[in-house]
Amino acid sequence: MLLGLATFAQGPLGGGRGGSQGGGPPKGEKPDASEILKLLDTNNDDKIDKEEASKDKRGKISEDFDSIDANEDGFIDLEELEASLDSSKPKKVSVKKLLKEVDQDEDGQLNELEVAAKDKRDLMDNFSEIDVNEDSQLDAEELKAFYSKTDKKKRKNKD
C-alpha cells in the first residue's frame, strides 16, 4: 500500500540539487523516513501535519495520511513514517479507521456499495467470504476476523 511513499522525492521540494544541507538522497536512491520528514516538516516541529503532507510531490503521504497516522493525533511523526515505509512488516489494518473512512451511512457496517465506492479491492474481492452471517453487511467483528486471518497468512508466507 505505502510502497509509493518510498518513491516520494528525489530532491528538495523546490527542485534543484540542494545546498549544504544535502537536499535528499543521491540520485536513484529512495529517501528514508528521516529525509522525508526533514523535507516536509516546514515548521520544524518533528512531525508532519496535513498541510505539510500536501507538499509531497507525488501525493502519497497526503493520500495515505490517516493510515500512516497510527495514533490518530493528526500528525505523522518519524516512528509512524518509518513504520509506513517498512515493507517487511505486515501492515495492521485498523478496523475502526476503515469503518470511519468507508462507512458512508455511519451505521457501523459496510455494504457492497460503500466498499466499491472507496475501491477497497481486498474487501470487494472477498465480500462473500468476510460476510459470515450473510446479511450483506460487513461488521467490525467480521472485518477483524478477516484481517486477522489475512495477517496470519502473510506471516506464514514470509517464513
Instruction: Give tens-digit pLDDT for 69-121.
Output: 888 899 999 998 888 887 545 556 788 888 999 999 999 999 999 999 988 88
Q: How confident is the model at residue 55 (pLDDT cuts 50, 70, 90)?
A: confident
Cα dihedral 6, 10, 13, 19 sign: positive
Q: Is the pLDDT confidence value at 158 over 80?
A: no
Distance CA 60, CA 125 (A): 24
pTM of the model: 0.47
Please compute the mean of the pLDDT values over residues 134-138 and round it to a whole number. Answer: 97
Looking at residue 29, the DSSP 8-state letter turns out to be: S
pLDDT on residue 24: 53
Amino acid at 131: D
Mean pLDDT for all residues in the chain: 79
Domains and CATH numbers, the chain: 3-85 (1.10.238), 95-158 (1.10.238)
What's the gap between Cα 91 and its chain centre?
9
